Amino acid sequence: MKLGLLAGEQVRSFSPLLFQRVFGVPYELYTPPDLTNLRQAIHERGWIGFNVTFPYKTAIYPLLELRDTEVEATQAVNAVSILPDGRWQGHNTDYKAAHYLLGEIESVYGAWEMAVILGTGGVGRAVAYAHAQLYPEVPILFVSREPTARLVGFSVPHRRISYEACRDYPFPEKVLLVQATPVGMFPAVKAMPPFPLGRVQPSWIVWEMIYNPHPTYFLQAVWQRGARWESGYPFFRKQAEYSLAIWNALWVTHYKRRTPAS
């Protein structure tokens, strides 16, 4: 069973290390020049499945013949299964990881009055979709550099504002702030999203989705403000576990019995 990761040139992912050393399966990183001949390139590598990260989580969507409910709802993909007949099926294990970890965070810190999500990319949408299912009565606020841009196909109830508008926005006392942008990821480790740190309160919970570095500069800054925080590593690990479970089932059901005995 061969697996891989579709990632941009600037991405420095621990996924190959996790899958190879911890899970014990062949796994490699691939950065395509573009998506034009992606099917052929993946076929030549012999993958039966692969993860998708920045900047391809939404770009790969049109290449899928089959899409899980979570993919349709978020318009984003982070895992793909290649069926024996050649069709690609898209999954969103970011959503599954977020669904699990939101419950864990609530059990530790208690409920919050609003979820504020920085960034409208694939991870942010996955968290919002999971959050809307678990806590439909709690409002979701996206913070974006382009707050008027339409999120095509994304139907989760939410509001969107700019980073500048956050300076005067009437946040409630207890907020779950989710840092779902790639800003601050290695190698640009000193970069931080332009959220006004003065708004962060000790009653807030800050969930960083970046796991490298650990902790990020953003987490260090909110820690100095007295806020409780969670790093991105549990999310990274959980979505990988869900991806592997999908591919293991695919391998056992469709591929293993077709592989000649050595």
CATH number, position 31: 3.40.50.10860
Average pLDDT over residues 127-142: 97
Question: How far apart (Å, rounded) are the C-alpha atoms in residues 202 and 198?
Answer: 11
The tally of domains found in the chain comes to 2
Average pLDDT over residues 90-102: 97
User: pTM score, two decimals?
Assistant: 0.92
- Which residue range forms the structural domain that includes residue 31? 2-93+236-258
| Whether 217 and 169 share a structural domain | yes
The domain that contains 137 carries what CATH number?
3.40.50.720
Residue 257 scores a pLDDT above 80:
no
Residue 262 scores a pLDDT above 80:
no
Residues with Cβ within 8 Å of 132's Cβ and at least 6 positions away in sequence, in order, are 140, 156, 157
Residues 172-190 pLDDT 10s: 999 999 999 999 988 889 9
Amino acid symbol at 41: A
| Whether 68 and 115 share a structural domain | no
Q: Are 76 and 61 in contact (CB under 8 A)?
A: yes
For the chain, what is the mean pLDDT? Answer: 94
Tell me which DSSP letter residue 85 carries: T
| Whether 123 and 35 share a structural domain | no
| Whether 71 and 102 share a structural domain | no
| Whether 101 and 86 share a structural domain | no
Q: Which residues pair with 118 in a beta bridge?
A: 143, 179
